[in-house]
Copies of this chain bind each other. A is one copy, B any other.
Amino acid sequence: MLLSVDALRTLGRKVFVAGGVPDEVADAVTDALVLAELDGIPSHGFSRIPFYVDQARSGKVDARAEAVLHMAAPSLILMDAACNFAFPAIERGLAEALPLCRRYGVVMVGVRRSHHCGVLGHFAEKMARQGVICLAFANTPAAMAPWGGAKATFGTNPLALGCPRDPDPLVVDMSLSTVARGKIMNAGQKGESIPEGWALDADGQPTTDARKALQGTMLPFGGAKGAALALMVEILAATLPGARHAYEASSFFEAEGEAPGTGQSFLLVDCVRFNPGFADRLEALLGHMLAQEGVRLPGERRFRQREERRRTGVELPDALWQDLCRRAEGGPTVA
């Protein structure tokens, strides 16, 4: 089903409100998921809504809880997301951080008792549009083992960087697993094998069997170095703001059980104050890259797709669309 951006937003909002989610929260979450759809990242888009809403219904997500802001220091903002969705707490923390970044030059926001934050790069992008550099980190429920180990300890733990630039910021955004877990699930459903380097089995041995991989752990990209990065992000996103570690966090998909309680953190730097020539120097660096045939900038494709889909609309899978329409009317939902 092809939907315009407005139709998409109206549908998403209705589903959340029908699920008992307050208007403001419904808006914040819907806007984030719409942007993921526009950018061509459906895994972080409307496919999440049934899971999100079911968690709000079960109380695993406390959609009426107010995030609490605590100034841990003049440049350290600690947000308690209060087991609500991640978006309102992150948005508020970053909004409070911006003037502090301009005053002090650098500020950090940490979020605890949080949930899935969607496309991490979107926050970095948004801050970059305000003229500051943003480094962002998030942990997710356990998916990857430490190097040499067999037990899922870290999430796929994305990191992102946003840098101010015209007309669109430069955005680097990556999860630290070689591939998304969805790719292994797809292979498993089709009975296909997976390349070595994607996953380990439950004993910590490399496997090309997708079903064994799903019982095991995802591999970080780049081997031991990637695993060390996963540890780094786990510390910055979770240990530092006092969130749950990946191995303590419940699923972002199941409606039962305790809240995931994962974490995020954001470092904002006033790059123009640090270096008034920052914009020109960034253009020089990116120009050196783009002068080479075959090179494109990280994040470029997302912006291209976003622009295109704003015009053409977004294609939702029919089954998902029908499920969301039923949910929007408050009708019975697909189990």
Q: Which of A32-40, A230-238, A307-315 contacts B (4 or more CB under 8 A)?
A: A230-238
Residues of A157-195 contacting chain B, CB below 8 A: 161, 163, 170, 172, 174, 176
A1 at the interface (CB under 8 A from B): no
Asked whether A76 and B285 contact (CB < 8 A) given A107-B106, A148-B292, A228-B174, the answer is: no
Asked whether A289 and B153 contact (CB < 8 A) given A242-B275, A274-B76, A278-B239, the answer is: yes
What distance in Å separates the Cβ of A277 from its nearest Cβ neighbour in chain B? 6
Set of chain B residues within 8 Å of A110, measured between Cβ atoms? 274-275
Set of chain B residues within 8 Å of A103, measured between Cβ atoms? 73-74
Q: Are A240 and B288 in contact (CB under 8 A)?
A: no
A150 at the interface (CB under 8 A from B): yes
Q: Tell me the complex Cα distance, A285–B97, Å.
A: 28
Set of chain B residues within 8 Å of A147, measured between Cβ atoms? 295
Which one, B149, B161, B234, B235, contacts A293 given CB within 8 A?
B149
Which one, B149, B223, B278, contacts A289 given CB within 8 A?
B149
Q: Tell me the complex Cα distance, A73–B267, Å.
A: 16
Which one, B108, B153, B222, B294, contacts A148 given CB within 8 A?
B294
Identity of the chain B residue whose Cβ is nearest the Cβ of A282 in the assembled complex: B239
Copies in the complex: 2
Which one, B76, B133, B231, contacts A298 given CB within 8 A?
B231
Q: Are B274 and A73 in contact (CB under 8 A)?
A: yes
Q: Tell me the complex Cα distance, A42–B273, Å.
A: 38
Set of chain B residues within 8 Å of A236, measured between Cβ atoms? 133, 135, 161
Residues of A within 8 Å of B, CB-based: how many?
70
A330 at the interface (CB under 8 A from B): no
A208 at the interface (CB under 8 A from B): no
A251 at the interface (CB under 8 A from B): no
A245 at the interface (CB under 8 A from B): yes
Select the residue from A107, A146, A234 with max chain B CB neighbours within 10 A. Answer: A146
Q: Are A76 and B106 in contact (CB under 8 A)?
A: yes
Set of chain B residues within 8 Å of A148, measured between Cβ atoms? 292, 294-296
Q: Are A285 and B242 in contact (CB under 8 A)?
A: no
Set of chain B residues within 8 Å of A176, measured between Cβ atoms? 225
What distance in Å separates the Cβ of A110 from its nearest Cβ neighbour in chain B? 6
A206 at the interface (CB under 8 A from B): no
Set of chain B residues within 8 Å of A50, measured between Cβ atoms? none
Residues of A297-334 contacting chain B, CB below 8 A: 298
Task: In the A-B complex, list the 10 residue pairs whose CB atoms are closest, starting with the nearest.
Answer: A73-B105, A222-B222, A76-B105, A149-B292, A148-B294, A221-B222, A149-B295, A75-B104, A146-B289, A242-B275
The interface of chain A, by Cβ under 8 A from chain B, is 72-76, 78, 103-108, 110, 133, 135, 145-151, 153, 161, 163, 170, 172, 174, 176, 204, 221-223, 225-226, 228-229, 231-232, 234-236, 238-242, 245, 247, 267, 269-271, 273-275, 277-278, 281-282, 284-285, 288-289, 292-296, 298
17 A-B residue pairs with CB within 8 Å? A72-B275, A73-B105, A73-B270, A75-B105, A76-B104, A106-B107, A133-B235, A133-B240, A145-B292, A149-B293, A153-B285, A170-B235, A176-B225, A240-B271, A242-B281, A245-B285, A247-B288
